[in-house]
Amino acid sequence: MSREIKLPGPDHQITIVPSSDRVLVRSGETTIADSQSTLVYPRRTTPAVRYIPLADVDRSLLTPSDLTHLLPLKGDASYYSITAGQERGTDAVWFYDQPYPRSRRSRTTSRSIPDRVEITVTVPDTLEA
């Protein structure tokens, strides 16, 4: 089976920009990730996607899943489930272990599925001192 690899272009753009917004990812009362070094993938018709550096993810709260999928612009995504007893925690987080060359900025980042976790974004001007 051949793998389709798409190159970014006018119809399939990948624009990933750094952000200093504080992003908190929680499952119930448990903090899965807390970062002020996220990457943002703006989208035209849906909310922007936030990628969080793996260094800011508490990986001890995650367990590998059997689920994977291919994103033709980015590569293979490996899923992880949240182990903190959250009923919606199954396959809630994914990483790109070997992203395609044009999306290498995603290599050391993770993404959470918004309907499975609570994601709070705070812009720097409103951060408490």
Residue-wise pLDDT for 67-122, tens only, equals 888 776 677 888 888 887 666 788 888 887 776 665 555 555 677 777 778 888 88
Residue-wise pLDDT for 4-41, tens only, equals 655 656 666 667 788 889 999 988 888 999 999 988 88
Using a cut of 0.75, tell me whether the model's pTM lies above it: no
Burial 1-27 (b: 16+ CB within 10 A, else e): eeeeeeeeeeeeebebeebebbbbbbb
The domain 17-123 belongs to what CATH superfamily?
Domain of unknown function (DUF427) (2.170.150.40)
